[in-house]
Amino acid sequence: MQLNIIFVATALLASASSAMSAKLTAFEGADCTGKVIDVDANAQPGGCIFLTQHGSAKSIGYSGVPNQIKFWKSGGPNDKCHGNPSVVKGGGSGCATAPAGVNLESVRLS
CATH of the domain at 97: 2.60.20.30
Domain tally, the chain = 1
Alpha helix segments (H runs only) across 38-105: none
pLDDT value of residue 54: 61
**What does the pLDDT look like over 47-91, one tens digit per residue?**
999 886 668 999 999 999 999 999 999 988 888 999 999 999 999
pTM (2 d.p.): 0.81
Domain region containing 35 = 22-109
Is residue 9 one of the residues assigned to a domain? no
Look at residue 61 and give its three-state secondary structure.
Answer: strand
Amino acid at position 104, single letter:
L
